[in-house]
Amino acid sequence: MGKGREVAVTVVAAAACAVAGVMVGRRWVRRRKWAKAMGLLREVEEACDAPVGRLKQVVDAMAVEMHAGLASEGGSKLRMLLTFVDSLPNGTEKGTYYALHLGGTYFRILRVQLGGKRSSILSHDMERQAIPEHLMSSRSEDLFDFIASSFKTFVEREGNSSGFPLDQKRELGFTFSFPVKQTSVSSGILIKWTKGFEIEDTVGQDVVKCLERALERKGLVMRVAALVNDTVGTLALSHYHDPDTVASVIFGTGTNACYLERMDAIIKSQGILTASGVMVVNMEWGNFWSSHLPRTHYDIDLDAESPNPNDQGFEKMISGMYLGEIVRRILLRMSQETDVFGPVSPTLSVPFILRTPLMAAMHEDDSLDLSETSKILNDILDIPEVLLNVRKLVVNVCDIVTRRAARLAAAGIVGILKKIGRDGSSGFVSGRSRGEGKMRRTVVAIEGGLYSNYSMFREYLHEAMVELLGEEAAERIELKVTLDGSGIGGALLAASHSRQIVDTAQML
């Protein structure tokens, strides 16, 4: 019996040791894989790091590229397009003006009544209309006739409230969010369609003429006073409310910037005269590139697999279209090389499945157990039952990607301010020394949900602005949220150019 007991005890002890050994082994494997995940996180953090010294290099590169793009066509990755807009709304505009925004699979028609004083928009009405799918690949005349018919219905419904009859000429601002070669403030040749449009007979045509002829066929007497993009409309709307506005930036699905430049600084504008001596320049800054940008292999792969490789590099690092996708790619690699998420979810391999608003929701999840993060991982990426420490890991990835984007966006803005002497290095009152003068107040209009709806992006951007400018100079720079520059801004530009028989910016 004694020997039997000894054998039993020995067997039990051996089994316990084996179980303990297995548990220790599993724990060691888990720790090794967790260490691997943390190593990947540190790798991403180091690759995305954008300290102030590096940001200053990006600022300088942006200013240099701006100079190059103003000197000659094709001289820079920045296109620095002339808009021929030399007169921004200043508050003296009075009357009723219209706007058409054609920006994708829908268009908007607006009527704006101005009171003749700054910030005096007495009323505005808006109608949104979907474009039937078949018209996106039909004839140019069919598309613009459809738009003109909707415009006529909109005008007829206003009755006498606008103050003039149907056959009296109306002024219209046309916000056209497709690539055009602008030839005057009220004309532009379509370079190509995007966003699903395939109307071949419009390419190479003046889109303003296409619209005006359609309106005429419907019995409407309307003059397109200004052809603009949404960034220029945002600048116009902000300038109407605040004369210190000198630039505007869009931070949304895409990103772009424009600003007010002196004509003598636009070397490639030889032969163009403006009454004001200035012109709004559309930077198309999404295509900015510099070796100083902190690019990772995730960015390189995303670019290579995109429909436009080696194009829009800056946009792919800072805009709402791509931030969620960068996070997805990082999480996919973590899932493939560790087991922190359990078995690799096939859904995690689907490009753009993680939209930026969802990424932002995880980043800004303030619940103690990060329940919103858990819900998004489960519902969107099919990753269930994620441990709390892994949820924190996901939030950290979102933070790294967003912080880099916001800091680079800030460097872009400061690059514009540096180019026009509003960054504090030369923006003091003329004739006074640095110690005696006071830097001019400067407003940059901002539009887009990435900035207005994503508080962490906004906070990181502001933080970087202070680091780059210094606290004293940063206090004189105001980033002002502007809403509906593409609509109301277009109508305001029609108003600011309505009293001109011919464009004040014209070729000699």
- List the catalytic residues: 195, 230
Lookup: tokens for 478: 């105001």
Question: Could you tell me if 411 and 62 are in contact, meaning their C-beta atoms sit under 8 angstroms apart?
Answer: yes
Beta strand 106-115 with 278-282: parallel, antiparallel or unpaired?
unpaired
Our CA dihedral for 158, 162, 164, 165, rounded to 10 degrees, sits at: 0
Beta strand 245-251 with 255-262: parallel, antiparallel or unpaired?
antiparallel
Angle between helices 455-469 and 388-419 (to 10 degrees): 50
Say if residue 23 is exposed, middle or buried (CB neighbours under 10 Å; 0-12, 13-18, 19+). Answer: exposed
Q: Which of 411, 183, 155, 454 is nearest to 292 (CA)?
A: 411
CA–CA dist 171, 493 (Å, integer): 10
Q: Which of 348, 355, 356, 305 is nearest to 330 (CA)?
A: 348
CA–CA dist 271, 182 (Å, integer): 15
Amino acid in position 169: K
CA–CA dist 388, 393 (Å, integer): 9
